[in-house]
Structure 1
Amino acid sequence: MAARIITVAQQKGGAGKTTVAAQLAVTWARRGNSVAIVDIDPQRSLASWHGWRMEHHPDGAALHLSDVAGWRLGTELDRLRDRFDMVVVDTPPHAETEARAAVRAGDILLLPVQPSPMDLWATRTTVEMATKEKTDALIVMNRMPPRGKLPDIMLEKLLEEGLPIAHTKLGNRVAYAASMMEGKGVVEYQPRSTAAREIGALAMEVLATLKGRAKKR
């Protein structure tokens, strides 16, 4: 079966794209899938994390890295489709040609959104891009605080606009960043933690969403 391509994108920088991409990739790999990660963000944060992982955690779940220029993405994805079960693409912020190509190529677009007005405004632009490229989008509420009015207001605004929101929400937890510092995913770093349960639930929800939408086509 051809790989399922998961594109992680957000017009606003700092929304947690790379962390979500890395954490999901490790989670799927730990569950027996062959996984490739593709970094087309000029900052190369995902590639840097993978390098640290290979140096300091070489016995971790295997992840193949493709660190390519964005203009080569189509060719690279063609090469990866028949070799892996899952391909996770980390994109640059802003509506650049490379990000648009990655959204177009994806089977699903995951869009991390923090509880802030700036993230909300940027989200509309990214969803519009996904609609134009005919790629299904799924908003992932990220770094959610345990309490406060702003997250509820954000959710209400997103629902009012009819935007697709994942049931699973990721909390503002130190474990995500701490695991990245170790070159790990949180399912390796603290497998019994709340963070590990959250990312595991999101990984399952993404796969279920892909299957459900495939049946409708």
Structure 2
Amino acid sequence: MGKVITVAQQKGGAGKTTLAVNLAVCFAKQGLRVALIDSDPQGSLGRWFMTRLDRLGAPDLEFSTASAWGVGYECKKLRQSHDIVIVDTPPKVDSDLRPALREADLVLIPVAASHVDLWATDGVLDLVARESGRALIVLNRMTSGTRLSDEVALAAEGVAQVASARLVNRVAFAETLGQGLAAAEGRGSAATEAKALAAEVLAVLAE
């Protein structure tokens, strides 16, 4: 039976969709059967998928949408036929998020180089503790060598488990997203970072 990864953060612009896309592509490139669920009404993940479908001509990932309360059904169904199911959620923390957290084997919480982003994890972590219990903070859009990034990274370690792999604030992540691609499909630093994070997430899931 497949594993479910839910990407959640109550603050908008934290990079949930970017994270979901790059992990999905990394996993698929390793030969895993990957499904994506977009439960965010904004539909960014769905638009990325359709752009990718137009580009490739055939899907290399499964995709579905679900309302907040339909996520549980979709996860249970897709677990049966896929190795990994990734759920992209809307930027809020309320009862609507519970089904996606309840189904998760692991909740990923992207945090950008901002104390505001870190503060926004409190509500998510509280719900995770009640519903699934497993969370991993992913430092996203970091600026290497800055005091702020170092401060946020250090503070995050006092809140929850933090992934060793980080995604730096690179144009490649945003640029590839708009093309229906993932930075992980390139050869630069962004690809290296995405692949390192994917390997770490798989290792955590295997624990």
CA distance in 1, matches of 2:161, 2:128: 12
Unaligned runs of 5+ in 2: none
Report the equivalent of 2:188: 193
CA distance in 2, matches of 1:31, 1:155: 29
Contact 1:80 1:87 in 2 (8 A): yes
- Count of aligned pairs: 207
Q: Give every structure 1 segment of 4 or more consecutive aligned residues whose post-TM-superposition deviation is greater than 6 Å.
A: none
2:127 to 120, 129, 144: 129
Letter of the 1:197 partner, please give it.
T
Secondary structure in 2 matching 1:38: strand
Contact 1:168 1:202 in 2 (8 A): yes
Letter of the 1:90 partner, please give it.
D
CA distance in 2, matches of 1:31, 1:58: 20
Q: Tell me whether 1:119 sits opposite 2:114 in the alignment.
A: no
Contact 2:36 2:62 in 1 (8 A): yes
TM-score where L is the length of structure 2: 0.96
Q: Tell me whether 1:68 sits opposite 2:66 in the alignment.
A: yes
Of 152-161 and 142-151, the range deviating more from structure 2: 152-161
CA distance in 2, matches of 1:134, 1:25: 21
CA distance in 1, matches of 2:156, 2:184: 29
What pairs with 1:162-177 in structure 2 (closer than 5 Å)? 163-177=160-174
TM-score where L is the length of structure 1: 0.91
CA distance in 2, matches of 1:111, 1:92: 12
Q: CA RMSD in A?
A: 1.3
CA distance in 1, matches of 2:142, 2:163: 13
Q: CA deviation at 1:159?
A: 2.3
Report the equivalent of 1:180: 177
Q: CA deviation at 1:98?
A: 2.8
Q: CA deviation at 1:58?
A: 2.7
Contact 1:168 1:201 in 2 (8 A): yes
Secondary structure in 1 matching 2:161: coil
CA distance in 2, matches of 1:90, 1:183: 16
Percent identical among aligned pairs is: 43
CA distance in 2, matches of 1:125, 1:29: 31
CA distance in 1, matches of 2:108, 2:57: 28
Letter of the 2:11 partner, please give it.
K
Q: Deviations along 1:167-197, whole A, 9 cap, x unmatched? A: 0010001111111111011222x2x211111
What pairs with 1:21-170 in structure 2 (closer than 5 Å)? 21-58=20-57, 62-161=60-159, 163-170=160-167
Contact 1:106 1:135 in 2 (8 A): no
Q: Deviations along 1:121-175, whole A, 9 cap, x unmatched? A: 10122111111113300000000002211111112222234x1100001000111
Q: CA deviation at 1:120?
A: 1.2
Unaligned runs of 5+ in 1: 213-217
